[in-house]
Amino acid sequence: MKFMKNLPKIKDLYIKEIPPNIDIINLAQRYSSDHGTVLLASGGDLDSARFNILGISPWLEIRTKGKTINIKYNNESIDLSHDPFYALKGIINHFKIHIKKYNQPYPILSGLLGYFSYDLKDQIEELPSLSIDDLNLPDILLFSHNYLLVQDKIDKRTHLIMPIFRDKDLIIEPTILDFQHKIESKGFYTDGNLVSNFNKREYMETIDRIKRYIINGDVYQVNMSQRFTSSFFGDEFSLFKTLFYLNPAPFFAYIRSNDHTIISTSPERFLLQKGHYVETRPIKGTRPRGNTIDKDQELLNELKTSKKDDAELSMIVDLLRNDIGKVCKPGSVKVKEHKRVERYKNVFHLISIVEGELSDNAESIDLIWATFPGGSITGCPKIRAMEIIEELEPNKRHIYTGSIGYLSFHNTMDLSIAIRTATIINNKILFSVGGGIVYDSDPLLEFQETLYKAESFFKALQGDKSLEKNKISHHQVWLNGKFQDINNSHVPIDSLAFQYGMGLFETIRVQNNKVYFLEEHINRLKTSWDKIMPIEFPNLSWEEIISEVIKRNRLEDQLVAVKIITGMGSRDIPPYDRIIVVMCKKYLPRVHPQELGLKVCIYPQKRLFPLAEHKSLNYLYYFEAGKWAKKHGFHEAIILNPDGSISEGNTTNILMIKERDVYVPISDYFLNGIMLKKTLEFLKNKNYNIISKKIYPKELFLADEVLMTNSLIGALRIAYIDNKELGQKDSFIYKDINSYYFGV
């Protein structure tokens, strides 16, 4: 491949033994926020948990999505379109080193650390695409590092390994003091809500659908999963450490990228390669640990004697024998051990060990291509099982049931199956749990098994409480007379609200359970409803509904934004199917108290829109204006009329104060805001004159004070327009307005 000529060659390795007592977890924490840091940590004392491997400061990064490949090395970057397996095979061969020269027993001296996502399957097989990719993360993410530390837990030796690309390379070695320096854990927190992409009933119904596929002869087994999502704030590595000490497993991993972080606590090996030796260790069969010695033994015996689990494991063993047999020497593939029990803090697992001898003309990438994704987490037969997974699971799996580990530049590899694995991205954490479904699977037991498997994550994120009642709490909304989880709330796709935006909304400020200007909001909502909707306005006890929504979301003592959404259904005769929603979330002020005021900009797309006088669901223009402002570093966008005069902000009203006069922009169409009305009442009582007139942007720079208002922010002054400071007086009347209405 042509791009290879731009890549350097590894001429030699710098290898130095360092003190064996280095705490590699503590060391990794020191570099845990750096892009490209990868830790592969072995927890527990099983025979597969021997080495800790830490990569720091990548000199090479490989990122693929479909057939799009990006390769970064030092300060260079290459983009190409190619088969990712072919490209990766070429890269590994380009950097190949001869390990005998170094006389080291370590599994890796130089190579690639990172992951292969489950969705890489689409580059191997022709499969349908029916689920949603809501993460937009790479199929492959691999790093090669300037500093590689390998620690042998048995021999108690640790080595620092660095690649040398030129004879005169200067070796800059991190000091031992740096390695031993401890740093305090920064901690993390969530909002306490874990939301699944299935509710319990839906998950059990989906298992019944899989069983119908089995009855019809499509498959023998399908691995089905549900995905949990929660907010996440703080230090990702603190969560890694919590999980590591809570339930150590052989294949822990921490992968830090600039746009996401992977934390894996997997117990399952996918592929081990040492030269020509190949091994895979599928897991099938799980039981929770008992809370007494007798109960523990009872559950262990139940797992050992389970015909269902024995059949599942045997089926997957046969699948994997066939998969590795594609690239192994004939007759070399055999089952080394069958139905071994492995004990973890939360569960028992049944595993088998299958081994083989790699063909002389096969390499690491050939082995991955032949076996990926692992059969233990797809089902049997594999292709039909993957088609059914794509049909039934709503979201692309990404890292879940992909693989994590290393591929060396000297013909070794160790990859885990990415189960018990979380992705942290943009203040959200996501992790999936599942199990193999066969003909005699009990839907309820299968659902409960997913909870047992996720227990470590539940404990780490929410504390040790009752699993089903407290660990899966959801964001509650009120929809058409019923409180329900927001993740399981649905709007009919044939509704006019969905098809044409035929609906209205109000956003209301609530602070310490006090609802501000509710009557005015409902009156405005009703006025617009009566003009637009062909059916009568709903007569509801809005304050009671709002209070209960806030209570169910545990926000009684917070500053809260409540949103009421009303939409037209598909019928204008009884029984109506209109849509009425009340929901809430914690409100975070836009402007820090130390800031002078809002930074706003002029939105370049002028507007003439008759529905602007209603708070309709046709809000895309305003949403785009706000997004444009945020992208350019502003709090709010000023909307202009076609003649260039000011109309309003994308979420606010605007008014201008000059001496004792208050000027309100005249606009053919604009939203007459509740807070604007309250602000004008306040100013009128202070003997200000209220004047409506055409206002152009340049006039704002001549005012004593320019304010933006809405029901959430109250009144705030504008400090900058398009990064030009307004020369305003120090009256700060907006503070008096907010103090009068909100006590702040």
Domains in the chain: boundaries: 2-469, 476-586, 598-742
Decide if pLDDT at 576 tops 80: yes
For the domain spanning 598-742, the CATH number is 3.20.10.10
Per-residue confidence (pLDDT) for residue 464, from 0 to 100:
42
Confidence of residue 469 (pLDDT cuts 50, 70, 90): very low
How far CA 116 is from CA of 1, 48, 264, 539, in Å, comes to 22, 20, 13, 54
Does the pLDDT at position 504 exceed 80? yes
Whole-structure pTM value: 0.74
Q: What is the pLDDT of residues 422-466, one digit of tens each?
A: 999 999 999 999 999 999 899 999 999 899 888 888 888 875 443
Per-residue pLDDT at 466: 36
Return the beta strands (E) in 591-688 as ranges: 598-602, 636-640, 646-649, 653-658, 661-665
CATH number of 2-469: 3.60.120.10
Please calculate the CA angle 663-664-666 and round it to the nearest 5 degrees.
125
Domain 476-586 in CATH 3.30.470.10? The answer is yes
The dihedrals phi and psi of 296, each to the nearest 5 degrees, come to: -60, -45
The predicted-structure confidence for 183-227, as pLDDT tens digits, reads as follows 666 788 887 678 888 888 999 999 999 999 999 999 999 999 999
Q: Which residue has the higher pLDDT, 123 or 345?
A: 123
What is the predicted pLDDT for the residue at 678?
Answer: 96
Query: What pLDDT is attached to residue 224?
Result: 95
Mean pLDDT along residues 354-367:
94
CB 473 within 8 A of CB 192: yes
Instruction: Give 132's DSSP letter.
Output: B
| Two tokens, residue 393 | 């699971």
Average pLDDT, the chain: 89
Least confident of 264-273, 416-425, 476-485: 476-485
Helix, strand, coil % in the chain, rounded to nearest 5: 30, 35, 35
Residue-wise pLDDT tens digits, 653-672: 999 999 999 999 999 888 88
pLDDT band per the 50, 70, 90 thresholds, residue 179: low
Q: What is the pLDDT of residue 175?
A: 61
Q: Is the dihedral of CA 605, 611, 615, 617 positive or negative?
A: negative
| Helix 443-453 / helix 455-462 crossing angle, nearest 10 deg | 50
- Spatial neighbors of 475 by CB under 8 A, at least 6 apart, are 193, 195, 485, 486, 487, 553, 583, 585
Confidence label for 471 from pLDDT (cuts 50, 70 and 90): very low
Average pLDDT of the segment spanning 34-63: 92
Pick 5 or 250 by higher pLDDT: 250
Per-residue confidence band for 46, with pLDDT thresholds at 50, 70 and 90: confident
- What is the model's pLDDT at position 8? 84
Q: Which residues are catalytically annotated?
A: 268, 284
Give me the mean pLDDT over the 60-86 stretch.
Answer: 93
